[in-house]
Amino acid sequence: MAAEIIPTESTTPGETDPAFVLHQGGKLEIRSTVPVRNKDDLSLAYTPGVARVCTAIAENPDLVNDYTWVANTVAVVTDGTAVLGLGDIGPKASLPVMEGKALLFKQFGGVDAVPIALDCTDVDEIVETVVRLAPSFGGINLEDISAPRCFEVERRLQERLDIPVFHDDQHGTAIVALAALRNAAIVTGRELKDLRAVISGAGAAGIAIAKILIEAGIGDIQVVDSRGIVHEGRDDLTAIKRLIAELTNKAKLKGGIEVAMEGADVFLGVSAGKVPEDVVATMAPNAIIFAMANPDPEIMPEVAHKYAAVVATGRSDYPNQINNVLAFPGVFAGALSVRATRITEGMKVAAAEALAAVVADELSADKVIPSPFDERVAPAVTLAVAEAARRDGVARR
């Protein structure tokens, strides 16, 4: 069921609301990269000159990367079912977000992106539609597709396509969270292997964070959903949660968030649930709290700072913003630069390591992650992802 949106002054179009003023006419346009000033230009850009290029590509399909926009263009694909904090608002209402995502791809990574909002929510239909659109793109960025369908859509698309498929709600969040946690561990005098983390939320972001932390060597993790700690003894788990149960919770804990939080070193929040202060108070000394729900963190920074040495949120008005824009532009730029066939776990970890290294010489409790406007970020992530793609054997050049 679509989320009910109650009209307010801020959501009513008007000349005085700066958000509506900015969005008037949309945020994107298509521009030519070549001049068409006379008939000679026209004959090269279109017929008859274009026919020679088409024939060459027909004979050698790989040339599409050299003579079209494919090599630097991704599709930003959604079905509008999990848009920001608004929920299932449908494909048309999702378009301002998808345009915004495309704008960020270009601004921060130099990657061209095309918003595609699909009027369907069936996994089979989404997969078949994207597969048919794929020849026009060098990569697919899945966006705001609700869990658990998003896992299946991504998996099946990557099986069918030889270009990167990346669900940013999962992996972008995970990359940035890992980068910040690496630096937070340093600030507090520890290593990842020393830490026990609690992840509140077992949706797309929570599952992806768990996976990347395991890949990076975290000590232990308890993933907590609306029914409590995800463990192997539960009979209500989806397939992806069963996998997470097998990979996490070495301590064999059972119960709710209050059980998981007692003595925990790290809290990573990617859910709408609030954590009471008396539960936060049971965390280990020198704790690390990343409360990333927007706009209202699971633990407000004013409370978190009473018990934690390092605090991060998803908001821009507090230090240490966990923002996906730190990851996805460079990840795709790096993957596209070597014509990678997929984005591997190794590429994601490499992106996180590169992101963490950007501020390695500037670390403090209030600076464990770069600003989204730090111009060092995208080049560092791009290079690291390209090198990792070569190491992992998924680069084609």
Q: What is the DSSP letter of 49?
A: H
Q: What are phi and psi of 371, to 5 degrees?
A: -75, 150
27, 67, 92, 101: the active-site residue: 101
Q: What is the dihedral of CA 20, 21, 22, 25, to 10 degrees?
A: 90
Helix axes 345-358, 328-337, angle to 10 degrees: 120
Q: According to the annotation, is 294 in a ligand binding site?
A: yes
Q: Any catalytic annotation for residue 46? A: yes
- Confirm if 310 and 188 have CB atoms less than 8 A apart: yes
> Is 67 noted as a catalytic residue in this protein?
no
**Was 225 annotated as part of a binding site?**
no
Catalytic residue among 39, 46, 67, 92: 46
**Taking the alpha carbons of 280, 182, 97, 103 in that order, is the dihedral positive or negative?**
positive
191 is in an annotated binding site: no
* Residue 237 CB neighbour total at 10 angstroms: 18
Q: What is the DSSP string of 271-300?
A: SS----HHHHTTSPTTEEEEE--SSS-SS-
361 annotated among ligand-binding-site residues: no
Would you say 43 and 65 are in contact if contact means Cβ atoms under 8 Å apart? Answer: no
Contact between 366 and 315 under an 8 Å Cβ cutoff? The reply is no
Calpha distance 391→382 (Å, rounded): 14
Per-residue CA distances from 50 to 57, 253, 331 (Å):
11, 64, 32
Q: Which amino acid is at 176?
A: V
Q: What tokens were used for 40?
A: 């000679």
Q: Is 72 annotated as a binding residue?
A: no
The tokens for 336 are: 């596209």
d(CA 202, CA 270): 8
Q: How many CB atoms lie within 10 A of CB 207?
A: 26
Provide the 3-class DSSP secondary structure of residue 340: coil
Summarize the annotated binding site for a divalent metal cation as residue ranges: 143-144, 169
Query: Could you tell me which residues are annotated as the binding site for (S)-malate?
Result: 294, 323
| Sequence ranges of the binding site | 143-144, 169, 294, 323
Active site residues: 46, 101
